[in-house]
Every structure is written in C-alpha cells, then in structure tokens.
Amino acid sequence: MLHHSILDTLPADIREDALSSLQPLQFEQGKILFRAGDPCQGLPLVLKGTVKVQMTGLSGNSIVLYRMGADDICTLSIGCLMTGDGFRAEAVVEDDADVFMVPRGLFDRLMEQSASFRLGIMESYGRRLNDLMLLVEEVAFRRMDERLVHWLEARAGQGEITITHQELAVELGTAREVVSRLLKELERKGRLRLSRGKIEFTGSFTG
Amino acid sequence: MLHHSILDTLPADIREDALSSLQPLQFEQGKILFRAGDPCQGLPLVLKGTVKVQMTGLSGNSIVLYRMGADDICTLSIGCLMTGDGFRAEAVVEDDADVFMVPRGLFDRLMEQSASFRLGIMESYGRRLNDLMLLVEEVAFRRMDERLVHWLEARAGQGEITITHQELAVELGTAREVVSRLLKELERKGRLRLSRGKIEFTGSFTG
DNA sequence: ACCAGTCAGTGATAAAGTCACACAGGCGTA
DNA sequence: TACGCCTGTGTGACTTTATCACTGACTGGT
C-alpha cells in the first residue's frame, strides 16, 4: 500500500537505503503541503490521495495548475530544492494523502546512482510541462462554457458533486459570477440541478 | 564563442568525450527547429541566437510559450526524447542560432556521470516550469492592454521594433484585431507611432 | 501601371470579467 | 424563538476582450 513505483525499480541495495530513511507523512484533506513563499523541504512523492497545486496572481485570483495522484511526483519542488527559492504556488490536499519527503541529499544520491530514478524524474517533468502547456492553450483560447462543461463531464460519474461556485472558478481560473451564470444557464437547459454547495447531474448531462 | 556553460563544469575526460561527438548546427532566422508532431532528435543546447517556442491550439490560434537564448537548454525536448512522443509545440529561430544536438545516448551518459550536468538540467526544468506558471497567471488574469505595454516596454530600448500586429498577437495569445486596436489607442495617446510592420516609441513611452 | 499578397483599421456583436448589491441557507447565541 | 453573522448564490450594469466581416493601404513583381 505505502509504496511508490519510482522506488520499485531501484537496485535492491539503494532501495533499502532509501526506504530506511523515509517515513510516510500523512496529510488530511484540506491541509496545505506548501504555500507560496515556503522554502522546499524535500521532494514529495505522493503515495496515496490527491493534491492540487494552485497559484494566486497579483490580482488575488487563483487558478489550479494541475493535480497529483498516487504515484505522482511533485516535480515543481525539484527546482525549489535546487535553487533554494521559495514556491510560487501552493499545494492543497484534496483526498487524505500519504507522502514520502525525499530530502536533498537522498535525491542527489538517487539521481546519481539509479538510471530508472532519473528516467522517472524526467518523465514526470515532461508530463508536467505538457500539462502546463495545454493549460496555457486552454486558458488563452477555449470558451469558458465549454471548459466548464468539460470539467463537469469528467466528474459527472457520481451523479452529483460537492463544490462551491467559488472553488469551481478557481479550477477554471475565472470569476465566481461567471461560473454562477454559466451553471444557471445549464440548469435552465435541464442538464443539472443546483443547490447550495452542490451540483446534481440529470440523466441528460453526458448525452 | 561556440560554447555552452552546462558543458564547462564537466570533468575533463567527459567533456572531451561530449565535445568530440557534437557538431554545432547552424539555423538561420525563421528556420523551424521542430514542429508540432515531430519526433525528438536530441536535446538542443542553444549556443548562440534566440529561439521562440510556441504552440497552436485547436482553434488555430497560437501563443508564444517562452524563448531560449544563448546558454539555454530546450528542456521541453527531454520529455519527448524519453517517451518518444512527438512535440506539441514548435520552435522558431528568431536570431540566427547555433545549436548542439545532444543525442539520447550521450544525454543518458552525461546524466549518469556528471552531477553538475544533472544540476544544470534540473535548474533549466525549474525555470521552464516557473515561466509557464507565470504565463498561465498572466493569460488568465492580466488585462491585455497592460500585457501589451509591458511587452513593448521590455523592448523599447532600441527606439523602434519591427513586428507585425499578427506576430504581436501570437506573443500575447490574443487576436490581431485586439492588438491593432490597443496599439491605435496608444498612438492616439502619443506614446508611439505606427507604420506598416513597425512600431516607433516616442520619448514619453517608458516614462 | 497593374495585380496579388500581406498588413492594418474598424463597426457590429458576442463572450467574459468586474463591480455592486440583494437575498438565501445554515449556525450559534441571546 | 428571534436575531445576527457568515458563507454562498443570483443578477443588473458596465467594461474589456474575442470574433466576424469587410475595407482600404502598402509592397514587390511583372
């Protein structure tokens, strides 16, 4: 259970070394893994749960940049770990999470000694860059109503979701009023039903 | 002159090995280093010149994601190199550029053998992630007139710049008409003078 | 001088962001 | 129970940005 696949392929001796110095840290939903400005304590390997990474602009508005799930690596931390700069984003635990915090020294050792570790890190970086590039494209050129419907469709499985309009606005990087109006429009069309802090999907939603 | 600082700090023997297998490639202004969909041939180390990386959305609109200058590394390529996926963006040479193309095998060897090379790669990745995060914030929350003025101010030193409204629109990820209108507004205020393919700044621009 | 291609300007309209405010639901306390 | 308080939602008015459609201006080649 408490296990991360980037450690799986390590040679046995190195893995022993790594695992012996790592304790899983537990974070409850809502906890902040790190805030903007915090120095980096180590490279978080997510074992379980989900964590969202969001940033707040000078305007005070926020936007979710990406999320991490089980087996993910918080690649963003590596840069901060190397340069000593503070984070520019914050990470919020969405579902109770277990995390290995890999300190700088161990990270350096693993990078030196394991080709598979290096590969895992490089792949993670690549994915993150890709995510961000796609996000830029989406924010710059896609229509908000489409983005909203797309976001909802990806989560409509359960029949309903618990989220406020404000939180949804941060997901999409827009204003609360815009979300309220677009949702109201969808309700008028009969695709969902709204109540305080909750969105219920009607059968016709995905269709 | 033809030199990249990530290779400087390599141990002498490794550096010999690397330099002996690398030929600088020359690209003229306007040349495409890679296009969306292209497979990755190697990791480009930029020795000289500047290269901009931009992507085109499904809508057909484009936006410049970041630029690379002398001593920069095209970190985006690493992910493609690892996974074998094609690029999702394209790289266009802005000022005549010289580039070392580091093939997969050499890259792996350098990552294995040199801590300073690893550090350089990690730092480059960190910077790129940061750039993209800031870009997301800018695109999502900043006003277009401010962004345009900011872009112009950063280049107003020469007194005039040669660029079309369409190219400027790609820089900012907006439509050509929007740029035309905002520029016209600035001209009315006396901050610059417009002519075909050129923008001249008046003394009052930066003030 | 003419033509084709590129570049720039602009009106009309739609989409999205901002500001201001009203009201509703839920919760604790007098 | 009644009152206030906080959070969440709805909406009008207005500004900014995006999109569509079209016009005309500049440039280089024949």
**Overall pTM surpassing 0.85 (yes/no):** yes
Q: Is the pLDDT of residue B139 over 70?
A: yes
Summarize pLDDT for A140-163 with one digit per residue, the tens: 999 999 999 999 999 998 799 999
Q: Please tell me the distance from the alpha carbon of residue B159 to that of residue B60, in angstroms, as a whole number.
A: 32
DSSP label at residue B157 = G
Minimal C-alpha gap between A45 and chain B (Å): 17
CA–C1' A35–D5 (A): 29
Reported confidence tier of residue B203, pLDDT bands at 50, 70, 90: confident
DSSP label at residue B206 = T
| Among chain B residues 151-190, those with CB within 7 Å of any atom of strand C | 164-166, 176-177, 180-181, 183-184
Q: Is the pLDDT of residue A1 over 80?
A: no
Q: Please tell me the distance from the alpha carbon of residue B21 to that of residue A206, in angstroms, as a whole number.
A: 55
A75·B112 Cβ contact <8 A:
no
Summarize pLDDT for A59-73 with one digit per residue, the tens: 889 999 999 999 999
What's residue A205's pLDDT? Answer: 79
**Tokens found for residue A60:** 């005070």
| Ramachandran bin of A90, using left for φ above 0, alpha for ψ from -120 to 50, beta for the remaining angles | beta
Q: Is the pLDDT of residue B143 over 60?
A: yes
Summarize pLDDT for A17-32 with one digit per residue, the tens: 999 999 999 999 999 9
What's residue B207's pLDDT? Answer: 56
What's residue B205's pLDDT? Answer: 79
Q: Are A136 and B139 in contact (CB under 8 A)?
A: yes
Residues of chain B in contact with residue A57, where contact means CB-CB under 8 angstroms, are 137-138, 140-142
- Number of other CB atoms surrounding residue A123 within 10 Å: 17
Q: Are B190 and B200 in contact (CB under 8 A)?
A: no
Return the C-alpha torsion angle A45, A31, A133, B177, nearest 10.
-170
User: Which chain B residues have any C-beta within 8 angstroms of a chain A C-beta?
Assistant: 55, 57-59, 61, 63, 65, 75-76, 78-80, 82-83, 88-89, 108, 111-112, 115, 118-119, 122-123, 125-130, 132-142, 173-174
A129·B61 Cβ contact <8 A:
no
